[in-house]
């Protein structure tokens, strides 16, 4: 598209839209580890769940306006500089005050980000730090109990917190001041005290559990003594009668107040039953308890006793299971089960959390209880790659733990789940967006590495590209479904390409140095390779210090502009415009944003960004200038920024209450709905922002593909953002009117054309005109007798014919009369043949090598 619009209008235009962006989670259905759940004893349905990388959620029960429950995220206030606070290492409620919530926030022990004890006085709406200490919400043993507790006495002024490295700390004034408890030593291994529980009937008794010991205090946590040792400790509860229960890898131990706990014989650990971890007790019935094993796998068992642990009944594996997320497998039930909680207002109602979601059973006393997921609102996923196609799908995405998905809805969970292969790189073909390629593995980049190709929007996949031994990033040709490139993960890697759809092994590209951009599986956020979205032969690679350009499908590269050195996370994020050939936007981390309009031969700095993470280009909201979205730091403020004038001016489109701060690393504008952008995060899945459409003027239509070379059998299609809108178009370069052709279905491109289109929407002024140009290739080829490893590409045959899959032998071209018009020995692949000088007509290409014969007919029109 041509950038023709009055600048005066563009200065006004951003203000119209920037203040009206709203942000929501794209429904996926969980996908991450919920490590704890707590219920308030004095208020029904006041429930909180914590996660390892996805924040803290508050349960919202059904109401007349909301017929189903949902979980409200409480951590959107966290600024990007403090993104480690999205991990919660423990949570506690004041039993005397329904508004007070305490949380241990912080992800890892090895970094210097703020972390420690935080408090909310308004049920999680606002938070403040009380005490600085290292927390490990995504460290080992994060699933073992709640390491912070409020004394059920004197209004809840006494708080005891077990830390990872500083032993136990204590406050007797509601968290205003803290002191270390000398009788429990710090843990040099960083596991620390993982569970703290008070005796509800004698609140001076408090128990602390680390990996090796159970400690008891009889003076409200001022001093502790060891009462049980070397039993691979897990969680603990104290009943309303003061009896202590402790789960371990060896079984369950129990003892009355003041006694030494002894092992119960009712539930013995054997070769089949695994590590007993989670435990909960009915606050009204001290004989009613539930425990669960946690073997790090799927379908863990849950046991219930109503006689204080003398006998146990397994209830999970004989239950009914209802999962409200359509892509979940049955084996996901009770996976790595972390936390159990009997509801204080419904004694037989059980909640639990696991690797994926919160679950509940309304009545575990039944012979066959029903367990059901409560997923709505919980979105905890580490996203590696997202890209919005130009077809009916909203988004293709690859992620950790759960493979990848094709999204079709903003309100419903996806039904197209790829598989368990964790996808780190994904892309689609512009001219044929149903073609998708991805690279994936199992076990966090440990095994089963694959490049996979789908021709049905991800519904089915086939493995292509030969054997590979790592993950990486993908970029797909915008026009040729048989052409894509792969940038492997790891150190000193080389770019690979294919021109035959991966029928043969990926080949090494020439002209590029080795690279180490994404060093490991968890580093796969830098998108440093991209295809030109208009020219199907062009690919780009951004490496430290240098940008590289290919014009032959990735087979070879030449140097382009210089690139600032690698910095920030992700280091490089390269996006090409779907609307103009050769337009590149490059996020360079701490060196800010770069722009090229000449296919990367030159780059210029854009905006006052001091750091950027990702960038994308979306359809115009008016006129013909695409909207550019950047997540970066501008004038000292991190946020999502939009430019409506090609980078001259930028407007922040998120707020302090919606910081979008959970490791924002992937960005893609919706290709069909102007003013919508998707952000892939490192812990809360995908968040999308959407502005209100203009009230008085229709938004321009989106024409796909967005121009460039196209084959005779290909089609273009047009979409409108508004409901009940009508689209009118022309193919002769004239301005469309309501008397022009009305768009109803995709249109075949039979010649070189200029397509112009406009939207007519009831009650609004007609939209500005969208415009694209297609250069018809006027050619085709078909195999007469094919060697499956050989392909002919690309057509346009009026310019150049490229033959891949051949290493030696002779290559000849005959015209329709049988005369040889070209002949050559072949010693490398791919082999390029100048074809522009030949007249229109039928030609036959023949390759001979040893006993192998390959014949292909090529028609030049």
Q: So where are the chain's domains?
A: 29-373, 381-690, 702-776, 779-860
Q: Where are the beta strands (DSSP E) in 127-250?
A: 128-132, 148-150, 159-162, 168-171, 179-181, 195-198, 206-209, 213-217, 225-229, 233-238, 244-248
Task: Give the pLDDT mean for 642-649.
Answer: 95
pLDDT top residue among 386 and 297: 386
By the 8 A CB rule, do 784 and 857 touch?
yes
pLDDT of residue 570: 74
Q: Which CATH superfamily is domain 29-373 in?
A: YVTN repeat-like/Quinoprotein amine dehydrogenase (2.130.10.10)
Assess contact for 471 and 425: CB atoms under 8 A: yes
pLDDT confidence band for 712 (50 / 70 / 90): confident
3-state SS, one letter per residue, for 793-808: CCCCCCCEEEEECCCC
> How much is the pLDDT for 794?
42
Q: How confident is the model at residue 852 (pLDDT cuts 50, 70, 90)?
A: low
pLDDT at 685: 96
pLDDT value at residue 799: 65
Q: What is the pLDDT of residue 6?
A: 26
The predicted model gives 825-842 an average pLDDT of 75
- pLDDT, tens digit (0-9, with 9 covering 90-100), for 653-699: 999 999 999 999 999 999 999 999 999 999 999 999 999 998 899 99
231 falls in which pLDDT band (50, 70, 90)? confident
Q: What is the mean pLDDT of residues 150-165?
A: 96
pLDDT value, residue 823: 83
Q: What is the pLDDT of residue 781?
A: 35
What pLDDT score does 842 carry? 66
Reply yes or no on whether the pLDDT at 779 is more than 70. Answer: no
Q: Is pLDDT at 349 greater than 90 in this prediction?
A: yes
Residue 610 has pLDDT above 90, yes or no: yes
- Residue 599 has which token pair? 């296919």
Provide CATH code, domain 702-776. 2.60.40
Lowest mean pLDDT among 346-350, 737-741, 819-823: 819-823
Q: What is the band of 397 on the pLDDT scale with cuts at 50, 70, 90?
A: very high
Given a contact cutoff of 8 angstroms between Cβ atoms, the answer to whether 729 and 756 are in contact is yes
Distance of alpha carbon 195 from alpha carbon 176, whole angstroms: 22
Please state, in angstroms and rounded to a whole number, the distance separating the CA atoms of residues 436 and 457: 6
Residue 160: what pLDDT? Answer: 98
Q: Where are the beta strands (DSSP E) in 766-849?
A: 770-776, 779-785, 791-792, 800-804, 809-815, 820-826, 831-834, 841-849
**pLDDT above 90 covers what percent of the chain?**
77
Closest CA to 473 of 512, 418, 528, 539: 528
* pLDDT confidence bin for 267, thresholds 50/70/90: confident
Is a pLDDT exceeding 70 seen at residue 248?
Answer: yes
The yes-or-no answer to whether 29-373 and 702-776 have a common fold is: no
257 has a pLDDT exceeding 80: yes
Tell me the pLDDT band of 714, cut-offs 50, 70 and 90: confident
pLDDT of residue 508: 97
CATH of domain 381-690: 2.130.10.10
pLDDT class for 854, splitting at 50, 70, 90? Answer: low
For 456-522, what is the HEC assignment? CCCCCCEEECCCCCCCEEEEECCCCCCCEEEEECCCCECCEEECCCCCCCCEECECCCCECCCCCHH
780 φψ region: left (φ > 0), alpha (ψ -120 to 50), beta (else): beta
Distance CA 72, CA 14 (A): 30
Rounded CA-CA distance 181/161 in Å is 10
The pLDDT of 436-454, averaged and rounded, is 97
Question: What is the Cα–Cα distance from 42 to 236, expressed in whole angstroms?
Answer: 21
**What CATH architecture is 779-860?**
Sandwich (2.60)
Class of residue 83 by CB neighbours under 10 A (exposed 0-12, middle 13-18, buried 19+): buried
Which residues on adjacent β-strands are paired with residue 131? Answer: 117
Positive/negative CA dihedral, 105, 111, 113, 114: positive
Contacts of 160 (CB under 8 A, 6+ apart): 148, 149, 151, 168, 169, 170, 196, 198, 206, 208, 221
Q: What does the mean pLDDT of the chain come to?
A: 90
């Amino acid at each position: 598209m041509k950038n023709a619009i009055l600048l005066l209008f563009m200065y006004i235009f951003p203000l119209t839209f920037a203040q009206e962006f709203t942000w929501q989670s794209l429904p996926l259905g969980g996908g991450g580890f919920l490590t704890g759940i707590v219920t308030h004893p004095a208020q029904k349905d006041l429930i909180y769940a914590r996660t390892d990388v996805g924040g803290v959620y508050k349960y919202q029960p059904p109401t007349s306006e909301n017929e189903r429950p949902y979980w409200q995220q409480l951590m959107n206030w966290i600024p990007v500089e403090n993104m480690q606070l999205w991990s919660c290492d423990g949570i506690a409620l004041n039993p005397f005050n329904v508004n007070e919530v305490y949380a241990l926030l912080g992800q890892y022990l090895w970094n210097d980000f703020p972390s420690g004890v935080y408090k909310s006085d308004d049920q999680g709406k606002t938070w403040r730090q009380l005490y600085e200490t290292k927390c490990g919400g995504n460290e080992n043993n994060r699933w073992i109990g709640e390491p912070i507790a409020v004394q059920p006495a004197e209004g809840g002024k006494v708080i005891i917190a077990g830390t990872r490295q500083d032993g136990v700390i204590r406050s007797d004034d509601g968290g205003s001041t803290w002191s270390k408890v000398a009788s429990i030593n710090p843990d040099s291994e960083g596991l620390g005290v993982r569970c703290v529980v008070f005796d509800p009937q004698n609140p001076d008794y408090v128990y602390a559990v680390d990996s090796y010991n159970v400690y008891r205090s009889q003076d409200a946590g001022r001093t502790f003594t060891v009462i049980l040792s070397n039993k691979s400790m897990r969680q603990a509860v104290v009943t309303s009668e003061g009896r202590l229960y402790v789960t371990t890898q060896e079984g369950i131990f129990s003892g009355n107040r003041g006694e030494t706990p002894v092992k119960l014989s009712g539930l013995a650990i054997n070769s089949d039953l695994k590590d007993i971890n989670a435990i909960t007790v009915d606050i009204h019935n001290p004989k009613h308890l539930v425990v669960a094993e946690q073997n790090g796998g799927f379908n863990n068992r849950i046991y219930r006793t109503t006689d204080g642990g003398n006998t146990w009944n397994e209830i999970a594996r004989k239950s009914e299971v209802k999962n409200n997320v359509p892509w979940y497998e049955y084996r996901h039930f009770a996976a790595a089960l972390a936390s159990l909680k009997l509801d204080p207002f419904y004694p037989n109602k059980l909640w639990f959390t696991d690797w994926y979601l919160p679950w509940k059973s309304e009545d575990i006393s039944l012979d066959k209880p029903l367990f059901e997921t409560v997923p709505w609102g919980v979105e905890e996923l580490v996203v590696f790659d997202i890209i919005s196609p130009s077809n009916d799908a909203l988004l293709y995405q690859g992620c950790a733990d759960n493979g990848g998905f094709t999204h079709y809805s903003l309100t419903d969970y996806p039904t197209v789940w790829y598989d368990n292969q964790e996808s780190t790189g994904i892309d689609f073909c512009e001219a044929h967006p149903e073609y998708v390629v991805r690279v994936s593995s199992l076990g966090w980049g440990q095994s089963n590495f694959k490049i996979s190709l789908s021709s049905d929007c991800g519904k089915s996949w086939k493995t292509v590209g030969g054997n590979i031994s790592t993950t990486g990033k993908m970029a797909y040709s915008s026009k040729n479904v048989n052409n894509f490139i792969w940038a492997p993960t790891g150190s000193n890697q080389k770019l690979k390409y294919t021109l035959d759809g991966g029928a043969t092994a990926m080949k090494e590209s020439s002209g590029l140095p080795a690279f180490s951009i994404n060093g490991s599986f968890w580093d796969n956020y830098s998108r440093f390779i991209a295809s030109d979205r208009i020219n199907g032969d062009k690919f780009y690679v951004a490496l430290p210090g240098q940008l590289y350009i290919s014009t032959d499908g990735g087979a070879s590269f030449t140097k382009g502009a210089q690139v600032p050195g690698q910095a920030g996370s992700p280091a490089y994020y390269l996006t090409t415009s779907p609307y103009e050939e050769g337009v590149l936007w490059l996020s360079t981390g701490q060196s800010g944003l770069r722009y090229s309009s000449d296919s990367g031969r030159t780059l210029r700095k854009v905006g006052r960004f001091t750091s950027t993470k990702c960038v994308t280009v979306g359809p115009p909201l008016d006129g013909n200038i695409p909207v550019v979205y950047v997540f970066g730091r501008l004038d000292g403020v991190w946020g999502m920024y939009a430019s409506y004038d090609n980078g001259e001016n930028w407007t922040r489109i998120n707020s302090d209450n919606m910081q979008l701060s959970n490791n924002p690393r992937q960005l893609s504008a919706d290709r069909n709905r102007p003013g919508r952008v998707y952000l892939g995060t490192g812990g809360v899945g995908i968040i999308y922002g959407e502005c209100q459409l203009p009230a008085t003027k229709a938004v321009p239509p989106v024409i796909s593909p967005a121009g460039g070379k196209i084959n005779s059998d290909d089609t273009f299609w047009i979409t409108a953002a508004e409901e009940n809108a009508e689209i009118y178009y022309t193919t002769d370069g004239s301005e469309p009117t309501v008397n022009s052709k009305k768009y109803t279905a995709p249109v075949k491109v039979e010649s070189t054309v200029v397509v112009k289109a406009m939207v007519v929407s009831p009650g609004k002024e007609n939209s500005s005109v969208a415009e694209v140009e297609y250069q018809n290739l006027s050619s085709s080829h078909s195999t007469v007798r094919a060697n499956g490893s050989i392909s002919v590409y690309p057509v346009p045959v009026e310019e150049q014919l490229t033959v891949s899959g051949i290493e030696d032998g002779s290559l000849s071209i005959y015209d329709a009369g049988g005369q040889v018009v070209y002949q050559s020995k072949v010693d490398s692949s791919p082999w390029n043949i100048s074809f522009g000088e030949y007249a229109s007509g039928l030609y036959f290409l023949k390759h001979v090598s040893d006993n192998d014969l390959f014949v292909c007919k090529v028609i030049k029109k």
